[in-house]
Structure 1
Amino acid sequence: MMAATKRIVMGVMATALVAGLAGCTGSGAGSGAAGAGAEKGANGPKEEAPAAAPKSKVQLIGDGSTAFTGTQPKTPKAQRLAPGQKPPQFVVFSWDGAGEDSQKLFSHFRGVAKKHNATMTYFLSGVYLLPEEKRHLYNPPQHSPGRSDIGFNDSKGIRDTLAELRAAWKDGNEIGTHFNGHFCGKDGGVGTWSVEEWKSEIRQAKSFVQSWKSNAPELKAEAPLPFDYEKELVGARTPCLEGQENMVAAARTMGFRYDSSGVDNQVWPKKKNGLWDLPLQLVPVPGRAFETLSMDYNFMFNQSGTTKGDPAKHEYWGNQMRDGLLQAFDRSYNGNRAPLIIGNHFESWNGGTYMRAIEETIKKVCPKKGVRCVSFRQLADWLDAQDPATLAKLATLGVGEAPKESWASYLGPKPSGKQAAGPATTRGEAEPAAQSQGGRSAG
């Protein structure tokens, strides 16, 4: 993660702020709950034939750690904007190193998302599904086998994380990856890895999700994850936002569609080296003369520089983050409508004040008219469905810049010369109007 000032990244890196965490969530031990159909028979011409045996919708994959269970529920169909239609205001809440531990923040925010008609992206760290006693199965680039800067997990932590992953996917959320060992910095950090080393890391991140039953045989009775991870995994965020270039070069050959490891302003995204570049963004820090990245870690770093700052300031710091995110939202919502991208960790830094800030932000923005709180995958689906000329025009708008004319005029069809010579409208005709953006179905 990076600190930034005046829209310019300063390159401040903290690689190990809390014992082995490097700014990302730990999974350890925790708690959760688990969860996981039949078709009719046929009739003969004169007498009823025996009913066909029920067919399970679950098609196990590999050792049964994952399964194909059909199309993901609660995922809207992406549709192209109509001419002159105002873009939705997308907001993406995402979580690095997602795992369920004793804080139960994964399950809590999954519930918050459901309550406010939101979906999110959970970037799972693969080692959170690998037991400590099987740590030798992880062979990290430039490090000895069994090494991880965020540790591994135990049976309870794996079971609880699996329960949340199942439920999250069934709720329409996305399961991305934060890779594995979370190595940062110059000494073998992900920023020093080659394309081939990144390919190895990605393959291993997939394998730990696809083979947890083999790696934790005491959990074999647990239900499979209800998705094919080869198809589900389409995006990522790198540890400490390092190593993006080589990671993308590897990922674009391995089914990825987007990356969220970059840094940018609140403008419309573009493709970069074949993938949608959906970066963290520079947002206001109320009361300060600089902006920082739209992530809990960066607010914490700029406020206290430690996860255990002055308790008397906890409330102020949380309010400052919340209000900064709300200011960032308002300038997009009332301006260029660029998607707002927010990153978080399941951590209780500074007394949990950043978790409160995120929850209050979700409650404030997600119910608003025209707002869609979505996963990165859903945002990428919508971007892919649009006319490239429309996206190019949206990309010309600066931070907080609304079209000088109406959205209907800005994105409406260009009139022909013959039409331009006559009146813009006649009695009884309406100018192109933005369609209602309420709800979550893409439009």
Structure 2
Amino acid sequence: MREFSRRGALGLGLGAAAAVGVAGCSAGDQAGKGALGPIGKGGKKSGEPSGPPAKLIGDGSTADTGPQPRQPAKPVPLQPGETPPQFVVFSWDGAGEVGNGLFPRFLKVAKDHGAAMTFFLSGLYLLPESKKSLYRPPNNPVGASDIGYLTDGHVRETIKNVRQAWLDGHEIGTHFNGHFCGGSGSVERWTGADWQDEIDQAVSFVTKWKTNTGFTDLEPLPFDYSKELVGARTPCLKGQDNLLPTAQKLGWRYDASSPGGVQAWPDKKQGIWDLPLQGLPFPGHSFEVLSMDYNILANQSGNTTRGVPANYPGWRTQATGTYLNGFRRAYETNRAPLFIGNHFEQWNGGIYMDAVEEALKSMSDKKDVRLVSFRQFVDWLDVQDPKVLTKLRSLQPGQSPTGGWKTFLTSA
């Protein structure tokens, strides 16, 4: 289920403004200095972590294998007059491998270009449909799901790819479970207790997949999810206000669920870093579009994910241009982080997957660019001088620092 939320200048209607607040998730359409160092280049190589043997957790679905491989150097504060890095976070909602090869494709793209990403795993993608009665979604029927369930074969492939993602240095967050965006059971109506229930179930599906699937020939996920899980994105970017108190109690560090933001340096909301998708300049239009593949699609082909094929080349160019427009605006001015949301989907012939790959490649070799996960980004934020962050937040989208970076941050 996909719904539009329209707010302010970013969302006055399709074809006249951007579609804001869309998080269209589905399983194959089933119902420099002071910066984090380069990711994936140098450091530990992909594969089994070195160190002590894995310590199995619970039924052996997960294991404590020690520090995560392929992590950047410990972040340090910006020095007076130093230019901030240009952070870019590519994230994936759902993170299920549904047989289209997109999960392994982007693991390879990330490795080839020294990128870390965040995978917001839907807990249901590790639960076989034959066991759907185990899922008791808040305010919805037992076993209900607006994204359906994966086949057993796709559950297997998802487990393998999530495992490899962590070993490659990527973050595993959560996209919760059933993805309810409308009606009386919408996540928009959930209480803090409802969110806690949903989170507990999502964690259970990730940490008990061996029991639930009966698979005995797969290696455990190589992380302790109770420690790994520090952030999320809600379905359709709804329900953040009631989620945040629960997230704070759980010790989460950020949330990526705000229904539309701008390219400015982030702040905290209820003690949690608020990292919203952002309005980006949309080529050929006077309005901005939210930095997610489905929002671009909605402004190109409306409510269909299979538009007229003759339009695909132009739409692909437009989608790529959107990401690169946002990147250049930040990179050349206020250096605000760029957050891009995606789905492993072949919508409109797969043009959005091609667009994000092309954009990532174009960004990766630029000076001061850091392609990081959300967790790595907040690691950097947390060691900065609060006065420096306040100064950075004073810059509006597209606003360059007065007098240049040497002068601007020296006065912070």
Distance 1:357 1:237 in 2: 22
Contact in 2 for aligned 1:183/1:239 (Cα 8 Å): yes
Contact in 1 for aligned 2:87/2:369 (Cα 8 Å): yes
- Match of 2:173, SS? strand
Q: Which of 85, 90, 103 is residue 88 of structure 1 equivalent to?
A: 85
Contact in 2 for aligned 1:27/1:128 (Cα 8 Å): no
Change (3 A) 1:357 1:6: farther
Residue identity opposite 2:383 in structure 1: A
Contact in 2 for aligned 1:3/1:292 (Cα 8 Å): no
Instruction: Please list, as runs of the form range in 1=range in 2, the aligned pairs for 1:231-270 lying within 5 A after superposition.
Output: 231-262=227-258, 263-270=260-267
In structure 2, the partner of 1:420 is none
Q: Which of 348, 352, 355 is residue 354 of structure 1 equivalent to?
A: 352
TM-score under structure 1 length normalisation: 0.84
Question: How far apart are 1:289 and its partner, in Å?
Answer: 1.8
Contact in 2 for aligned 1:7/1:265 (Cα 8 Å): no
TM-score under structure 2 length normalisation: 0.90
Contact in 2 for aligned 1:59/1:69 (Cα 8 Å): yes
Change (3 A) 1:315 1:171: same
Distance 1:38 1:290 in 2: 50
Distance 1:295 1:302 in 2: 11
Question: How far apart are 1:378 and its partner, in Å?
Answer: 0.4
Question: How far apart are 1:367 and its partner, in Å?
Answer: 1.5
Contact in 2 for aligned 1:132/1:153 (Cα 8 Å): yes
- Match of 1:298, SS? helix
Distance 2:61 2:325 in 1: 43
User: What RMSD, in angstroms, separates the aligned Cα atoms of the two structures?
Assistant: 2.3
Distance 2:330 2:372 in 1: 16
Distance 1:11 1:236 in 2: 27
Distance 2:29 2:180 in 1: 18
In structure 1, the partner of 2:362 is 364
Residue 390 in structure 1 maps to residue 388 in structure 2: yes
Instruction: Please list, as runs of the form range in 1=range in 2, the aligned pairs for 1:33-432 lying within 5 A after superposition.
Output: 36=48, 56-76=52-72, 77-217=74-214, 219-262=215-258, 263-305=260-302, 306-412=304-410
* 1:92-130 alpha-carbon deviations (Å, 9 max, x no partner): 000000011110101001100110100100000000000
Distance 1:158 1:35 in 2: 21
Query: For structure 1, which segment, 232-241 or 150-159, has the greater mean C-alpha deviation from structure 2 after superposition?
Result: 150-159
- Match of 1:252, SS? helix
Distance 1:372 1:117 in 2: 9
Gaps of 5+ in 1: 40-55, 415-443
Query: Computing the radius of gyration over CA atoms, which structure comes out larger, 1 or 2?
Result: 1
Distance 2:251 2:13 in 1: 30
- Match of 2:402, SS? coil
Question: How far apart are 1:172 and its partner, in Å?
Answer: 0.7
- Match of 2:332, SS? helix
* 1:154-196 alpha-carbon deviations (Å, 9 max, x no partner): 3311211111111111111000000000000233110011110
Distance 1:96 1:2 in 2: 17
Aligned pair count? 388
Residue identity opposite 2:340 in structure 1: I
Residue identity opposite 1:379 in structure 2: F
Gaps of 5+ in 2: 31-45
In structure 2, the partner of 1:23 is 24
In structure 2, the partner of 1:424 is none
Identity rate, percent: 54
Contact in 1 for aligned 2:49/2:65 (Cα 8 Å): no
Contact in 2 for aligned 1:35/1:223 (Cα 8 Å): no
